[in-house]
Amino acid sequence: MAPSDKAIATDGAGVATARMPSIETVMQPNAATMLARRILGHRSFMVAAIIMAGLILTAIFAPLLAPHDPLDQVLIRRLIPPIWAEKGQWEHLLGTDMMGRDYLSRMIYGARVSLLIGFCAMMISGVLGTVMGVCAGYFGGRVDMVITFLLTTRLTLPVVMVSLALVAVVGGSLQTVIIILGCLLWDRFTVVMRSATMQVRSLDYVRAASAIGCSTRRIIFSEILPNILGSLLVIATFEIAHAVLLEAALSFLGLGVQPPTPSWGLMVSEGKDYMLFEPYLVMLPGLAIFTLVLAINLLGDGARDIFAPENRN
Amino acid sequence: MTGALLETFDVTRSFAVGAGIFSQKQMLKAVNGVSLRVNKGDVLGLVGESGCGKSTLALMLLGLLPASSGSILFDGKPVSHLPRLELARRIQPIFQDPYSSLNPRKSIGDIISLPLRVHGASTAAERQRKVDEIMELVGLPQRYITNYPSQLSGGQRQRVAIARALIMRPEIVICDEPTSALDVSVQSQILNLLMDLRQELGLTYILISHNLAIVEHIATRVSVMYLGRIVEEKETEALFRRAEHPYTQALLASVLTPEPGLGIPDAQLGVEFPNPMDPPAGCTFHPRCPHAAVVCSRKAPRPVPRGTAGFTECHIYDEAESVSFKSAAA
């Protein structure tokens, strides 16, 4: 403030850094390398990512990987146990089910159903929930009141009951399950996006953007969304897991994916009658569901650590 | 009334607070009848304690918040009638906290060039040239253009915020506590930068601050705000030489000195800052005023012209009320 202060103005932007640019470029890696380093250094995230990549590749290349047609019934070859059991056969590595269908092939095709339902239901609910949450958080007031009302209404509905009732009315199929789950699972997206938007919206850079004259659309898409993407990603992974589990539950109850489509939940359901004598019929698809959900959850946890470390509890 | 770039007449802004289903809305008057006049080339210092309505007033001047009543004229035209983009081109803010005023997901180049992109009408090469030019002007090395805000220090970030505000060459810059979030050593650099830019670009500043030393150093005129009203306005020198309103006197007395032996100054303001939901009757300052007389709790004071171009809103200086104060007007 006093004139003499000008003399000691050794600027952070000036002298010290400008003199040795080479050292600084070495010391300060760019954002992409930092991110890559954080991802590679996160062990559980990497393990989950590898499992997920394996499952996704399996689902995509199912026709190439499956040794048999998953729908092909050979009744004289029913209930052959997996290869590690005494009567196992190399032709059916994981044995066959009560209809004589190759269990490994059904498991491989089952990954398709689970992942498809998980991703699609998440996409639908994600779009619905994010739009509602961001609108509620950004516009506030009446908009917020209406959306919060919808949200509490949705939260009073038990998901499994409502989806069971709806499937019973409409009739179960892959598409109906995806649409019903998509329309029921948006609550968490809305809750999180609403509060994240409210938080970001009150920051000065949003105010600066509106003082610059940015349109509302521009403010939402280029100032707010990039800053809440981290939490969006975390919720998205959890909702995939949620949808996978719900699909399994619905299929187990006979109201999800309809036979003979191979779905892990349906396989558990079909195998339950033989559970005491042929436990692998239940254990194998159960293990698959468990692995998928665990991997997705670990992925979500890791994503939270990597993208939004400040949100860790 | 010529030469005024920005003028406000009796501007009021109230907020509805505590609106429940059954409880009635209460109105909070954040800004209560403010009339300001900023001439071209002025640096108007706006001083007052936290919660007195400084920032609300700034938002209204920027056109980000509509006034509940009263009018704000920019260059003779009401702000509410000016197109959004034109206003944005001519008035720009600089915010207090450079840690929250820059989008952490955008590179410095993107942040500085945003106004150019929003206002369109320039090619990529032209934008690049303007960004280079303004970065040079605010003292940011070129190589920061691809960096992200998290890689910069507080002072550098504030330079980025200044560059963003100035790239469209606005006429008025509203600085809301531009240095209070910075280290003391960096504060003087930013202030010097602001003063240099004022000379170079012919800027007009409205400087909101609670730091009286900064205001004394930079401002040409000072308005003192208390509970949504301007209680005293004067040329800087006149105000600091002879503060008349008891609140201004208290503010000046409360400045901390670097001398350790003196302790924390007692501004003699016994009572807490009043509840703005339920402001005191009469003069809003009377419960804390050492000179308060009976009339102060009954009647709101009117602005009394003092000196060449200033006023003080206090009964002490009002001839009509001077009977109540015998020796108080010291």
How would you classify the pairing of strands B43-47 and B221-226?
Answer: parallel
CA distance B216 to chain A (A): 9
**Contact at CB, A212 and B104, closer than 8 angstroms:** no
The pLDDT of residue A311 is above 70: no
Say if A27 falls within a structural domain: no
Cα separation, B312 vs B228, in Å, equals 15
Question: What is the C-alpha R_g of chain A?
Answer: 26
Q: Say yes or no to pLDDT of A35 above 50.
A: yes
Residues of A in Cβ contact (< 8 Å) with B155: 11-13
Task: List Cβ<8 Å contacts ≥24 apart for B150-155.
Answer: B150/B104, B151/A28, B152/B108, B153/A12, B153/A13, B153/B186, B154/B98, B154/B99, B154/B181, B154/B182, B154/B183, B154/B186, B155/A11, B155/A12, B155/A13, B155/B182, B155/B183, B155/B186, B155/B189, B155/B190
Q: What CATH number is attached to the domain comprising A188?
A: 1.10.3720.10
- Token reading at A244: 């996978």
User: Which two structure tokens, joined as six digits, stand for A22?
Assistant: 């080479």
Cα-based distances in Å from A12 to B154, B157, B185 = 9, 11, 10
Q: In this predicted complex, what is the ipTM?
A: 0.82
Judge: B118–A226 Cβ closer than 8 Å, yes or no: no
pLDDT on residue B324 = 61
pLDDT of residue A137: 92
Size of interface A-B (CB pairs under 8 A): 92
Q: Where are the domains of chain B?
A: 4-241, 265-330
CA B229 to centroid of chain Cα atoms:
13
**Does pTM surpass 0.80?**
no
What would the two tokens of residue A88 be? 């196992």
Beta carbons of B87 and A191 less than 8 angstroms apart? no
Is the pLDDT at B325 greater than 70? The verdict is no
Q: Rounded distance, CA A188 to CA A195, Å?
A: 11
- Mean pLDDT score, B40-60: 86
Name beta bridge partners: B247. Answer: none
pLDDT in tens, A210-225: 888 888 899 999 889 8
Phi and psi at residue B117, to the nearest 5°: -70, -40
For the segment A79-105, the average pLDDT, to the nearest whole number, is: 77
Angstrom distance (rounded) from CA A39 to CA A236: 18
Of B74, B73, B72, B60, the C-alpha closest to B31 is B60
Spatial separation of the C-alpha atoms in residues A102 and B275, rounded to whole Å = 77
Q: Domain count of chain A? A: 1
Contact B316, B232 (CB under 8 A): no
pLDDT of residue A126: 93
- Nearest chain B Cα distance for residue A298, angstroms: 25
Question: What angle, 0 to 180 degrees and rounded to 10, lies between the N-to-C axes of helices A31-41 and A43-60?
Answer: 90
Q: Do A13 and B104 touch (CB under 8 A)?
A: no
State the Cα–Cα distance between residues A59 and A120, nearest whole angstrom. Answer: 14
B64/A210 Cβ within 8 A: yes
A40 located within any domain: no
Interface of A with B in 220-259 (CB under 8 A): 222-223, 226-227
Strands B91-94 and B310-312: what pairing?
unpaired
Q: Which domain holds residue A173?
A: 46-68+94-311
Q: What percent of chain A has pLDDT over 70?
A: 88
B4-241 belongs to CATH 3.40.50.300: yes
Least confident of B6-10, B294-298, B304-308: B304-308
In a domain, A17, yes or no: no
Is residue B110 exposed (0-12), middle (13-18) or buried (19+ Cβ within 10 Å)?
Answer: middle
